Amino acid sequence: MSLSSRTAGPLAGLAIALALVAASGAPLAAPAHRAPGTSEAAASPALQTALADYQQSNFPVALREFATLARHGNRIAAFDYAMMLLNGEGTPPDIPGALIWLRKAAQANMSHAQFTYGRLYDDGQVVPRDTALAHRWFLKAAAQGHVDAQVALATQYMDGRGTPRNYARAFGWYLKAAKNGDEASQYIVASFYEKGGDGVAVDLTSARLWYALAAAQGGDPAARLKFDEVSARLRAAPGAAPPARPARGGADLQVIPSAPDDAQAS
């Protein structure tokens, strides 16, 4: 199995555009190939040259350029250099070297580097698994608004992996990710509101809204089924007014709820 296939997901490929978006704090939901340039990257012509060389598959040249910039403290270059070392682009794979530079980028407060570093230790495929260490790095990235880190952190709290199980904190982080547009988290938040428990009161109106928002993304047919089911329950409730009909537009459902307050999460 190749190194790239073992580091699937956020670690597969260099994902330079995603690194730039993460460094800038721009929404990570934007397609990586359409990510705008950032002031941090634009301020460094040398980094632009390295990015261009990478995009043209001049890997040995890009590797040297990223390495030089990384040694001068450029955190984007440090992340990109680490990914090239990890994936063996322009050089044989160098996992110890990749970890050093990835950690440097993470310590420089680059949220995607923090998430990626945590993911390596959570997966335990490239390095020995250390879910408690992963939790600490997920928390740093999630606090900066990194959506994948918020989901990973919520899942750790849900499973009791790397931290004691805490459903209330899991809900809080799923809610943050849901507000940031993560479809699976929107479905999970809706399920919490539908069923209640663990500090979350049953709220079918909120459940319906979050199922609608998940359904509008179109990735999970179950979200539409749950939307219809909860809508029927609301209509059948004694003395209840009929739920408002979703507006119809480009998507089948276009409901944007006023999101409830965040649960306490840390």
Which domains does the chain possess? Answer: 3-159 (1.25.40.10), 185-266 (no CATH)
Length of the chain, please? 266
Query: What is the C-alpha separation between 89 and 85, in angstroms, rounded?
Result: 7
Quick one: 69 exposed, middle or buried, by C-beta within 10 A (0-12, 13-18, 19+)? buried
Does pLDDT of 65 surpass 70? yes
Q: What is the separation, in whole angstroms, between the first and last Cα of the chain?
A: 37
The mean per-residue pLDDT over the stretch 134-157 comes to 98
Q: Which tokens sit at 80?
A: 């990109």
pLDDT at 237: 85
Q: What are phi and psi of 247, to 5 degrees?
A: -70, 145
Point out the least confidently predicted range of 22-26, 64-68, 79-83, 192-196: 22-26
Between CA 86 and CA 249 the distance in angstroms is 44
Q: For 215-225, give one letter per residue: b (16+ CB within 10 A) or e.
A: bbbeebeebbe
Cα separation, 159 vs 140, in Å, equals 19
Q: Is 200 helix (H, G, I), strand (E, B) or coil?
A: strand
Q: Quick one: average pLDDT of 154-181? A: 97
E strands, 41-156, where? none
pLDDT in tens, 210-224: 999 999 999 999 999
User: Tens digit of pLDDT for each residue in 232-261?
Assistant: 999 998 866 666 655 443 334 444 333 333
In the block, residue with structure tokens 């990235």: 141
